[in-house]
Amino acid sequence: MEFIDSTALSTALPTLARAFAVDPIHLKLALTSYILALAVFTPASGWAAERFGARRVFLSAMAVFLLGSALCGLSRNLEALVASRILQGLGGAMMTPVARLIVVGATPKARLLSAMGWFTMPALVGPLIGPPIAGLVLSVAEWPWIFYINLPIGLLGAIAVMRFVPASQPQRDLGRFDTLGFALSAAAISGVVVVAETAGVGLLPVWFQIALLAVSIACGLVYLRICTRTGRPILDLSLLRYPTYRASLLGGALVRLGIGASPFLMPLLLQVALGWSPLKASFVTLTTGIGVLIARPFAAAGLRRFGFRTSLAVFVTLTALFTAAPGFFTSATPMAVMMAALLLGGFCRSNQFIAINTIAYADVPESKTASASTLSAVMQQVGLALGVSFGGVMLHLARGSGGGLTPDRFVLPFVAIGLVTLLALPVYLALDKDAGATISGRAKSA
């Protein structure tokens, strides 16, 4: 439900722009507001699950997500939609991390690998079927049904959780929640994303943006000073001393900053610039999801044969090229060529992310795994949010003052996000050639 919702909304952005009578570029707020809420509230999910019980927190999160979905469908302007998406993000921030804790806690160690394989299926299937579902819905119904479709799915899910998931006992001796760290990190993340989202498009005065950025940086610096003195910091930055984890965090953030704009730019290119229907556009973009799905069986074999450093360097380079490729799509480009480029892009992107998500835990002690997972999740969402903002700014610059969204205006945004993706290459090349050999199954070099 969560992954379908995100990809379905991307397909519906041009329709929402017409319904709200706003500039399509401003609809990026509907994407970044949700991602920002995920980044801000995800750090609290682990503590809340342990303190109040995972099943109780998960059901509460589903209820909040469904309420946000209903309010999204009832929105009649961009401001109301953004507020509802933030509420959705609050629920989403608690759903996936807490669900992971439920699966890990209820599964015997011998079956954990198989269980986590099933757990990752929604992340693959959701983006694959989200666009065509959105295209079909928009062809037979009004746009609010993009959000209303969550309600029956969520209610069935809640019934299943109450029926099959055992209740977990809350832990009373966790110690105090890192309230100060949470507030400082939330202020720092929110301020940076808001400034990036509003830069260059005239939504906020320049003086206010500068002041907000200064406050955000100040909050971040204060957090850096106090987190080392906190027994259980909300974001454990000491994990950055592990080279493989540091490369995963930095490289992954740069790649997500690059490709994060694609779900925002592609619907505008296909539906606005090329004039396609949502249904036609969705069946082209779903080939990215097919590429992601195909890559799964090949990733492990590639890592065993070539190791992490080589695999990451090759696939991030190819990901950058295929990320930039849609910028050269025109009305004369055959649909088969578009679908092939998106398919290969999804294949390369999936190989890159499988490798970088796996190597993150190569050197992290088991006692720090939960903290490493939380920090990674936050950085992933920040990278995606900044990516959408960056893509919007590039499109605004390419369009110029009062210009239309014609295909040639998309060359600069797509090339720019491709180049940002390529910035991860030096990070990966700096890894030791035997980095992650203990988990890839590749023999160490002599």
**Separation of alpha carbons 290 and 300, rounded Å:** 18
Mean pLDDT of 324-336: 94
Percent of the chain with pLDDT over 70: 93
On whether the CB atoms of residues 302 and 351 are closer than 8 A, the answer is yes
Question: How does pLDDT run across 159-198, given as a tens digit for each residue?
Answer: 999 998 888 777 666 667 888 889 999 999 999 888 888 7
Domain 1-171 in CATH 1.10.150.20? The answer is no
What amino acid occupies position 251?
A: G
CA dihedral 351, 355, 357, 362 (to 10 degrees): 170
pLDDT class of 110 with cuts at 50, 70, 90: low
At residue 328 the predicted structure's pLDDT band, cuts being 50, 70 and 90, is very high
Q: Rounded distance, CA 73 to CA 68, Å?
A: 9
Q: How many CA atoms lie within 13 A of 339 on its CB side?
A: 11
Read off the amino acid at residue 300: A
- What mean pLDDT comes out for the span 239-257? 89
Give the model's confidence band at 446: pLDDT under 50 very low, under 70 low, under 90 confident, else very high.
very low
Q: Whats the size of the chain, residue-wise?
A: 446
Please check whether residue 363 is in contact with residue 242, taking contact to mean a CB–CB distance below 8 angstroms. Answer: yes
Q: Given this model, what pLDDT does residue 167 score? A: 80
Helix axes 411-422, 278-324, angle to 10 degrees: 50
Torsion, CA 407, CA 421, CA 96, CA 373, rounded to 10: -170
Q: Does 94 have pLDDT greater than 90?
A: no
pLDDT in tens, 380-415: 888 888 888 899 889 988 887 667 889 999 999 999
Q: How far is CA 384 from the centre of its chain?
A: 5
CATH code for the domain defined by 242-446: 1.20.1250.20
The pLDDT assigned to 225 comes to 87
24, 272 contact by CB (below 8 A): yes
- The Cα–Cα gap between 119 and 28 comes to 29
| 1-171 and 242-446, same CATH topology | yes
**How far, rounded to the nearest angstrom, does the alpha carbon of residue 416 sit from its chain's CA centroid?**
19
What residue ranges do the domains of the chain occupy?
1-171, 179-231, 242-446
